[in-house]
Structure 1
């Protein structure tokens, strides 16, 4: 992808269970891998004012074909951490090679 079209670096955060604490709760470690040359664009935004003041912001990310990301990971962009909404999609090209990875992410605040 041309750098002008994909100027964003996305950090994939993967949590792995490494044991349990004294109360039997899972203990996690996190690994982070940066993927430069990603494209990010805004999606929808919703506010829930009936039950509490909550805003959900949705974004779409197109990443490089070698991006190792699954739906249980989280991503960070410019220091903001997002959940992945659903399974990332892997798009092929007309040549049969993997062209890029696409995912929807969201941030819930409030």
Structure 2
């Protein structure tokens, strides 16, 4: 596992599959708790175009075997973050996942 610190459980939110009409397939979306993760909060940036939007970045370090896809969202400490890009897989260590929270 990456580094040291206090581990926590992150919930991976997999979006539902879509049928040929673009409608969600019932029962296909799933939430999976992933124990043993580390979360490193990152910087925030305010949009200066008159909006009240704030983007906050972070990194999640998940254990080997965690199933995270670029289309998933992660619930971390009560907030739902989007996965940014493809998670980096370190074969014997785990996953490194960049996440972003957009509020406002």
Aligned counterpart, 2:84 = 85
Q: Displacement of 1:5 after TM fit?
A: 2.2
Cα RMSD (Å) of the superposition? 2.0
CA–CA separation in structure 1 for the residues paired with 2:96 and 2:75? 15
Structure-1 residue corresponding to 2:60: 61
For 1:91 and 1:6, the matched residues in 2 are separated by 20
Higher strand share: 1
For residues 50 and 90 of structure 2, the distance between their equivalents in structure 1, rounded to whole angstroms, comes to 39
Q: Distance in 2 between matches of 1:67 and 1:38?
A: 10
CA distance in structure 2 between the partners assigned to 1:84 and 1:26 by the alignment: 23
Task: Name the counterpart of 1:109.
Answer: 103
Question: Cα deviations across residues 3-32 of structure 1 (Å, max 9, x unaligned)?
Answer: x72421111111132537xxx442254201
| Structure 1: distance between partners of 2:93 and 2:22 | 40
Quick check: which has more Rg, 1 or 2? 1
| TM-score, length of structure 1 as denominator length | 0.80
Give structure 1 regions of 4+ aligned residues with deviation exceeding 6 angstroms.
none
**Alignment length, in residue pairs?**
101
